[in-house]
Structure 1
Amino acid sequence: MDFKSSDAVPGPRAEDHLPHTAKAAVKIVIVGGFGVGKTTMVGSVSEIKPLTTEETMTQAGVGIDDDRRNDDKTATTVAMDFGRISITDELVLYLFGTPGQERFWFLWNGLFEGALGAVVLVDTRRLQVSFEVMGRLEERGVPFVVAVNTFPNAPRYPLDELRIALDLAPEIPIVECDARRRASSRDTLMILMRFLHDIVMSRQLT
C-alpha cells in the first residue's frame, strides 16, 4: 500500500507555498509497524508533493524487513516521509511518517521531538507490533489516536474488540481508516486534532 509519488517537478509549485493566512503550524507524526501504510497516508492527504525516503526492497531484507502479507510492496521508508495539509485557513499540519522497520526505530526520537500528537496506524494481521509503537509514544508523552488501516484482505473486527485487544485507555480514540483515500486520512487527522483540543481544555479546567 505504499504511495507512489509522481516524477519530480523542477522548482517550487504555487501550491507548495504556505497560504498567507496561516498563523499556526503543528507537527504530527504518523507511526506504525512495517508496511502498515504510513507512506500511503502521508501521500494521500498531503497538499504538496510529499517528500519520501523510500529504497527498493532487496533479498538482503528477507527475514528482517520481510512483509509476507503484501507481494506488491517493493519499496520501504528508511528515514521519514514528509507532507503538509491545511486544516483551516489558519492551521497547517506538518506530517512526518516514521520508518516501520525496527532497525530504523532509533530515528523515532528525533521525529517525535516537538510533535503535538500522533496517528498510530494498525494492521489487524499484526496487532502485536502496535504495542511497542504505542509504548514509545507514551514514554515521550505524545498523545495519539489509533487508526485501523482497512487493507482489502485483512480481517475486520469491531472497534470495541480491537480496543480491548490493544489495551487502549477509554479516552484514546480508535477509528477505521483507508489510508489510500484523502478524505479518510483527513478525517483521521481531524479526530486527532479534536482529541488534542479536548486534552488542552481538560488541563485548563484542572
Structure 2
Amino acid sequence: MGQKIHPIGFRIGVTEPWRSRWFARSTDYADKLLLDFQIRKRVRERFRKGIISRIDLQHRGDRITVTLFVTRKGEVIGKGYATRDALVSELEQLTGREVKMDIQEVRHWDLDAQTVAEALAAAIERRVSPRRQMKRVVESALNAGAEGVKVTVSGRIDGAEMSRLLSQRSGRIPLQTLDAKIDFGFAEAATTYGILGVKVWIYTGRERGY
C-alpha cells in the first residue's frame, strides 16, 4: 500500500514557502503552535467557505503579522475597513499582542486548490450532485490553465449505508516530482448523513531554477 504525504509539506523549502515563520525555544514552541492554530481557526470561522484560501503567520517580538490570501477582497475588508478592523481587534484580544493584517487577492481562484475544495464542499451541502460538480470543477481548472486536476469526495455519498470514494481526474499529477507546482486543498461538507471529505490536487507545471 502506498504511503501518503501532504503535497505541500513535501515541497516546503523547495517550491512552497513556510506558512508560519517564527523562532521558539523548546519551552515556548507548543504555545506558539497552539496560538497559530487558534488564529487560523478564528479567521476561517468569520467567513463563509471559499473566501479564505491561505493564512500565513509571522511572529516578531510582540507583533504578529497575519497575511490572508482571499478570493473576494472587498468582503474581507468590509465597508470602510470595518470588517478587517473588527477582525484585527478580535485577534489582538485572542493573542494579547499587536496584530498587523495584510490582505492579498487570489487572481485565479480556479487554480487555487483550497478555494476549489471549499466551493465544492459548499455545493455538496446545498445538495448539488457531487459527481456533476466534480466534473465541472475539473473542466474549470483545465480551462484556467492547469495541466492536471484530481478531485475526490469520500463518505456516505447520497446517504448510502456504506461510505465510498468518488474520484475524478484529468491530465497528470506528478506527486513524486519535487519541482512540480502542485496545490492541494481539503474541505469538509456537513450533510444530514454525516461529514464528506473533499480533496483537490491541481498541477500547474514545473518550477525551474529553485
More RCO (CA 8 Å, sep 6+): 1
Please, what TM-score do these two structures have when normalized by structure 2?
0.31
Please, what TM-score do these two structures have when normalized by structure 1?
0.32
1 or 2, which has the higher strand percentage? 2
Larger CA Rg, structure 1 vs 2: 2
